Structure 1
Amino acid sequence: MYTWKEVVKDLGLNKVLILSVAVGAGHMRTAEALREAAGSLYPGAEIRILDTFRYASPFLGKVVLGAYMEMLKKSPLLYGFLYRQAEHGKPLSGKGKVGFSHIINIAAAPRLVEYIKDFKPEIIVCTHAFPLGIVSFLKKKGVFRGPVFAIITDYDVHSFYIFPEVDNYIVGSEDLIPQCLDFGIEPGRVHATGIPIHSQFSGRYDKALLRKKIGLEPDLPVILLMGGGLGMGPIDSVFKTLGSGSGYQLICVAGANAALREKLDNMARDMACRVQIHGFVDYIHVLMAASDIMVGKAGGLACAEAMSLGLPILIVDPLPGQEEKNTEFMAAAGAGVRVSAANLASVVKDYLKDPAKIEIMARASAARGKPNAARDAVRLMAQAVDSPDYKRAAK
């Protein structure tokens, strides 16, 4: 008679280490979605998520992530320039990437080596490019010999994710496979499962019932305004624009930005439409499923979650870099539209006048959704652990 742990071990997953970085919310949420899926498919498996910088080098994390966030807030054009310069074939994609990875490895690798030796994971999964560079370095040095999976959490394949030591790449769409092949990655190592998202986004919900549950009118259209986990971007001005309209209800999610939440609460008193304001929530799937249109940022995970629920997105002035790439993907799929803050009100009015337009976008969004991405990715991980190549390397 087998125990659950013995069954899990036979199936291929026993110990999984997921490395991420707590910048924004998307990378960690992807890690949590993988942990949920792995725990469901392999109940006895031990799955750990490590905030890489916080554990391995808090000082470096503060410097690197602090500089990253400041650049996004104060110099987004500079960030966009650097992002483009690090794309495939550009100056920073070669020596620039190697030099940056070298600095991170010097600071963060020693403690991570200790952690890996202590935990002894069978597989390491990275949901951010920074820890992926460290793990690739450790695999090259023989510190870790098991499979390494890279989870690309945007609809673009950037050079900072590309390392020869990575065994498998998980990408958000079949459209990204040619980009991977251009980097020289073999077709069998690229898997378009979709960006891993929580199982909550795979459900089918009754929109009218959800609206009643959260205190909204069941038959009046709902617009969801989001600024990501950090509540970044011109949310207050967009909130004011949308709040001056009528004929719909407005939900706004301020994320972890407490100052923004307070400001929006004060602004809401003068709004023409019915308004709900939320901070950082763990029920975003409910708010998405209750809405007709989403307005806001084009974070990779947010796009994946919206498409899973068939929710169209109006993307307001995306940041240069990966947000622009995500916007291009959503627009090409017919699941999103890029708008400026200046014409947002007229675009919303136009869509609400013609519900058929919303329905067409919603269908296009749902057609590109991959609600089972996390489970599909985990199954691939189990196959990699069970492969003869891995078993030979593990001996």
Structure 2
Amino acid sequence: MMAMLERVVILSVTAGTGHMQAAEAIKSAILEKNPRAEVTVLDTFRYTSPFLEKVVLGTYMEMIKITPVVYGYLYRRAEKGQPLSGFAKNEFTRIMNRFSAAKLIDFLEVKKPQAVICTHPFPLGILATQRRQKRFSPLIAGVLTDYTVHSYWVFPEVDCYLAAAPELVGEFGYYHIPPEKVYPTGIPIELKFSVRLDKTGIRKKLGLSPGLPTILVMGGGLGMGSVAETVKALGTGTDSCQLLVVAGKNQQLRWKIERLAGDLVNPVKVFGYVDNVNELMTASDLMVGKAGGLTCAEAMAKGLPMFIYDPLPGQEERNAEFLVAAGAAVKISRDGDLVKQVTDSIKYPARLEGMSRSALTLAKPDAAREAAGLITEMYAEPAGRIKCF
């Protein structure tokens, strides 16, 4: 009988919402397999160094909101072969260790995990350093949450990597990570995305017109992006449709769209931060929004065509490029004709059907379960190399 994981720590960081959502999805999958397991999800910097969280993550979020072009430049300069992918990455990891390692290792010594899973690269870098210095022995797994491989994720000390898609396995070779350490299990999403739902029934539940084309507009968990202008453009179009708008945790954005909705031709339903994205995606014919990794993975699981409007520079651009190349998405720049692209697709259903099929080929609705199963198998291997505290 295979040994079960009894004690697992999942390290993440609140940079947006996707990394923590992936962590919670893996936790749910482990507990589904073994309800008696002790699985702890830790918001790493919030626990180890509030100062570091404020400086690093605060700067990141402000940069994304105010100067995304600068963030995109830095992101690209830290990709493979670029100047910031070597020394700068190592120096950044050294700073992370200086402010966070001691308290994190103390925490792990108390929890005594058999495996530690990281859904964000920053804590992964800390553990890799501790492994290199022979201060940490349990299994280390890195779970990537975008359709790309960035240098800040990659450390030779990590035992295994879980990538978003098979096409990404080869990218690890550039960093001298052997393919046998990389598993394309997908981006972990909530387990309920693996359950098939009836579109007609969900539309009735949500109070939608059963035959009217339905467009889902999302700006991510934080409600970022050009959501309001997107809603205005689609809501005043000459082609009839109905809009589902998710404003996330941005309450001001929600109020703005609710006021705007009264002046629009097409009906609009506005939501804040929701826990039924699976239903909203099931009810929709296409989605307009940003290209966060978790959102993309959820849309693929539902076979939902994506119209990615003005993606943020950095990982969103890479996600958009990947999905467009696969035929599952259309990328529209800020000066592009969003309304025309969307309405043309609605008029020609064959185009949306083709995009939906392409999305389903990328779908990994059971990614969290596969991750839990794989890490359990790795722990159970009698190699003797990986030990718990």
TM-score scaled by length of structure 1: 0.96
For residues 126-178 of structure 1, give each alpha carbon's deviation from its aligned partner in whole angstroms, at most 9, with x where no partner exists.
Answer: 00011111111222233320110001100110000011110100001011011
1:11-90 superposed matches below 5 A: 11-90=3-82
Structure 1 residue 330 and structure 2 residue 323: aligned? yes
Taking the aligned partners of 2:266 and 2:3, their CA distance within structure 1 comes to 54
User: Aligned pair in 2 of structure 1 residues 268, 65: CA closer, same or farther (>3 Å)?
Assistant: same
Query: Which of residues 358, 372, 381 in structure 2 aligns to 1:378?
Result: 372
Letter in 2 for 1:107: F
Query: Which of residues 340, 346, 359 in structure 1 aligns to 2:340?
Result: 346
Residue 219 of structure 1, CA deviation: 1.4
Partner residue, 1:4? none
> Which structure 1 residue ranges, 4+ long, deviate > 3 Å from structure 2?
390-395
User: 3-state DSSP class of the match of 1:276?
Assistant: strand
User: Aligned pair in 2 of structure 1 residues 266, 47: CA closer, same or farther (>3 Å)?
Assistant: same
Letter in 2 for 1:69: M
Taking the aligned partners of 1:392 and 1:77, their CA distance within structure 2 comes to 42
Decide whether the 8 Å contact of 2:218 with 2:290 is kept in 1: yes
Taking the aligned partners of 1:280 and 1:257, their CA distance within structure 2 comes to 8
Gaps of 5+ in 2: none
Partner residue, 1:100? 92
User: Aligned pair in 2 of structure 1 residues 380, 270: CA closer, same or farther (>3 Å)?
Assistant: same
Residue 182 of structure 1, CA deviation: 1.5
Partner residue, 2:131? 139
Taking the aligned partners of 1:11 and 1:261, their CA distance within structure 2 comes to 48
Decide whether the 8 Å contact of 2:324 with 2:330 is kept in 1: yes
Decide whether the 8 Å contact of 1:385 with 1:391 is kept in 2: no
Taking the aligned partners of 1:59 and 1:286, their CA distance within structure 2 comes to 39
Residue 330 of structure 1, CA deviation: 0.5
Matched-pair identity in %: 48
For residues 192-244 of structure 1, give each alpha carbon's deviation from its aligned partner in whole angstroms, at most 9, with x where no partner exists.
Answer: 01111111111111111101001101111110000000111111111111111
Residue 108 of structure 1, CA deviation: 0.9
Residue 388 of structure 1, CA deviation: 2.0
Letter in 1 for 2:51: F
Taking the aligned partners of 2:40 and 2:132, their CA distance within structure 1 comes to 23
User: 3-state DSSP class of the match of 1:267?
Assistant: helix
Decide whether the 8 Å contact of 1:145 with 1:393 is kept in 2: yes
Residue 394 of structure 1, CA deviation: 4.7
Letter in 2 for 1:330: L
Structure 1 residue 266 and structure 2 residue 263: aligned? no
Partner residue, 1:232? 224
Taking the aligned partners of 1:391 and 1:188, their CA distance within structure 2 comes to 16
Partner residue, 1:367? 361
Structure 1 residue 389 and structure 2 residue 383: aligned? yes
Gaps of 5+ in 1: 1-6
Taking the aligned partners of 1:46 and 1:270, their CA distance within structure 2 comes to 51
Query: Which of residues 266, 274, 277 in structure 2 aligns to 1:281?
Result: 274
User: 3-state DSSP class of the match of 2:331?
Assistant: strand
Structure 1 residue 194 and structure 2 residue 186: aligned? yes
Taking the aligned partners of 2:189 and 2:340, their CA distance within structure 1 comes to 32
For residues 261-292 of structure 1, give each alpha carbon's deviation from its aligned partner in whole angstroms, at most 9, with x where no partner exists.
Answer: 11111111101101100000111111011101
Pairwise CA RMSD? 1.3
Decide whether the 8 Å contact of 2:213 with 2:242 is kept in 1: yes
Taking the aligned partners of 2:365 and 2:95, their CA distance within structure 1 comes to 37
Letter in 2 for 1:372: D
Taking the aligned partners of 1:29 and 1:369, their CA distance within structure 2 comes to 17
Decide whether the 8 Å contact of 1:307 with 1:369 is kept in 2: yes
Decide whether the 8 Å contact of 2:114 with 2:387 is kept in 1: no
Paired residue total: 387
